Structure 1
């Protein structure tokens, strides 16, 4: 990487300013945070675009997907599995390439624009008097800059729709919201009269139309997040809990599912996919190779190299599911944003396979509602990723692999930091006090 020193200086300066902003409680106007974020991301996008080093997947997976759309071919099949998501983002790639924008800029433009839009959304997600501070801190977030401006990975696109879905689902009012608002009495009433409770929960209320419109918009946004990548499925529980009642949650869930199906079924029209190719496209999207050895505990089983280990990958996947269920139980009464933060962080700790871009998943949520260990987690994961992007790219292939062995195994020290960064002190929402004495009627709407 030719501009590693410049990029590193910008990232370190941003971290220092973000910490000073926390210390001095800076609360600039929102447009200041957005302008700062634009300046930082556009600068690093420019230096990355003219750099002699380009990420392998950015050139050999994402670019062929955009070119396939431009040529009227299916991006999943034409890229030979390099792009194994729905064709939504390749449509945008294709348009930018059609406009004559060089790929080194076009591919990053998608992610940089998304990450800039995330800045005010993080402020909205935080809410309250410190909203602009949180927006400014995300504008300086070093990992976001690396993923969006250097790597051109599509995580910011998934996040911009996912975070927007949270903001819409929460709607107006106080930023703190209760989690599952059913106590033992409410559960007892539901167990004695399940049909009556369900019928009452499904009855329309006075604000039903407004609630359903909000729910459907939130579901539309979450569906678009799933069109970018499959992992935003972990965001769905939190989004649903932010909605006011069961009818709204059903509407949001249905809309969330409709959007990806729409893009899949319309791929013969827009992506050049033939009807006979759709099953092959689905199989390719579903196929996840069990490559481990990049992060956490798995590099200690592979010697720090990548390896195909189905047994270890399967064990890690089961560990994720068990851990997420545990988080859902422990944080069931937490603010839905804190619940989501806990889910994403436990995923990072338990996952058997991870690319550096995955670490961006929890950043908007942790920045919006920081915990005591939030900044050690942000700085630690950003430093680990920056070492890979900025330092290891200075070497040839053989030296890179030797460095990778120590780099991947060193990531294990971040696992306890991520565990500590979980919102342990906020397992019960402060808004829960307002619904502590839940009547059977209220309990039925909280299902």
Structure 2
């Protein structure tokens, strides 16, 4: 990287401003936050575009996908697996290249615009009197700047749709919501206590029971279904950008008001990726016989480990194809996510989502620096006690990879990587501490902590 010093100064100054804003409780207007975010991202995008160093995947994977669209070819197959997601973003790449914009700018423009749109979305996600402060802090988030403006990785695109889905699903009203413990769950428990399990089953799932009534239209049903459908479309678009937003689905569904709305949202979430898949012959020139091959390529994830966390200590800090480690780590992710959902089942769904994303980072066997952006909008919007140690620590580790290690030739980079990857294990306990441990219970209105009777008001612990 030719402009490492300038990039470093901008990132450090941004963190300092964000911390000063936190300490002094600055609340600049949303417009100021957006303008600051634009200035920082456009500056670093410009220096990165004219730099002699360019990220390998940005040039050898993303660019071929965009060029394939220009030629009317399938971006997944024509990039020889370099692009192994749905073709939604390559369509945008192709349009920008068709307009004559050089790739060094066109490829980053997509992610920079998405990351700028995330600034007001973080404010919406946060809600309350400190919403503009949270937007300002995300505008200066160093990892967001690095991923969007330097790397051109598509995480901001997945996030902009995913966070927008949360905002739409939550709708108007109090920004803090209860989790799975609702009035319905409370009444089920009361019924079981009063009548026993056998007598309560027909009351829950029988004709005219609680489940049956939950599927019937209620007051405001049309508005709820409309909101749910739009939220589902947004989450579907997030899945079109990358597959990882599947971890956002539990929390986003819980923000919707009832079962009918959740079913509608889930249907639209699945419909959007399916639409982009079945329309490949129309928009990407894919033959019908090639679609199974496209699906196989998208599903095929190589078991590369040794970049982050516990696996570099088993690979001497180097990348390695290790199916056993990858399998163990994947199963560990599933087990931990289930555990988090159970522990945070009574929490605000946004806090549950933050916990899911952070536990993923702690136990995953494979991770690129850009993955650390996944939890940033959620943690910035609703910070915990250890939020800033996690934000700064993750950003420092990623910045060392993006800014410092790119000063070396390949051999020097390889030596640095052995130490850098193993050093990431220091961040695991910090990320674990940053989970919203103090916000695991958000009691539903109308129920007390034991769910045996009415309570005067909801008990929702607000973020710090």
Q: Which residue of 2 aligns with 1:163?
A: 163
Q: Which residue of 1 aligns with 2:140?
A: 140
Distance of 1:153 and 1:191 partners within structure 2: 50
Distance of 1:214 and 1:2 partners within structure 2: 47
Please list every run of 5 or more consecutive structure 1 residues that lacks an aligned counterpart in the other structure.
Answer: 441-447
CA contact (8 A) 2:309 2:425 kept: yes
Q: How does 1:24-423 map to 2 (within 5 A)?
A: 24-182=24-182, 183=185, 185-187=187-189, 189=191, 191=201, 193=203, 194-195=205-206, 196-423=209-436
Scaled by the length of structure 1, what TM-score is found? 0.97
CA contact (8 A) 1:238 1:340 kept: yes
CA contact (8 A) 1:48 1:149 kept: yes
CA contact (8 A) 2:186 2:452 kept: no
Per-residue deviation, 1:432: 2.9
Scaled by the length of structure 2, what TM-score is found? 0.93
Per-residue deviation, 1:191: 3.8
CA contact (8 A) 1:155 1:358 kept: yes
CA contact (8 A) 2:232 2:265 kept: yes
CA contact (8 A) 2:190 2:452 kept: no
Distance of 2:161 and 2:190 partners within structure 1: 38
The structure 2 residue matched to 1:432, chosen from 444, 448, 452, is: 444
After superposition, the Cα gap between the structure-2 partners of 1:184 and 1:169, relative to the gap in structure 1 and judged at 3 Å, is closer
CA contact (8 A) 1:211 1:244 kept: yes
After superposition, the Cα gap between the structure-2 partners of 1:176 and 1:82, relative to the gap in structure 1 and judged at 3 Å, is same
Distance of 1:191 and 1:336 partners within structure 2: 27
Per-residue deviation, 1:187: 3.7
Distance of 1:278 and 1:67 partners within structure 2: 19
> Could you list the per-position Cα deviations for residues 314-359 of structure 1 after superposition, in whole angstroms to 9, with x for gaps in the alignment?
0000000000000000000000000000000000001000000000
Distance of 1:67 and 1:424 partners within structure 2: 46
CA contact (8 A) 2:376 2:391 kept: yes
Distance of 2:360 and 2:284 partners within structure 1: 33
Distance of 2:95 and 2:370 partners within structure 1: 25
Q: Which residue of 2 aligns with 1:445?
A: none
SS of the residue corresponding to residue 288 of structure 1 reads coil
May I ask how many residue pairs the two structures share in their alignment?
A: 439
Per-residue deviation, 1:276: 0.7
CA contact (8 A) 1:186 1:438 kept: no
Per-residue deviation, 1:192: 5.0
> Could you list the per-position Cα deviations for residues 404-446 of structure 1 after superposition, in whole angstroms to 9, with x for gaps in the alignment?
00000000000000000000000012x5354438699xxxxxx
Q: Which residue of 2 aligns with 1:4?
A: 4
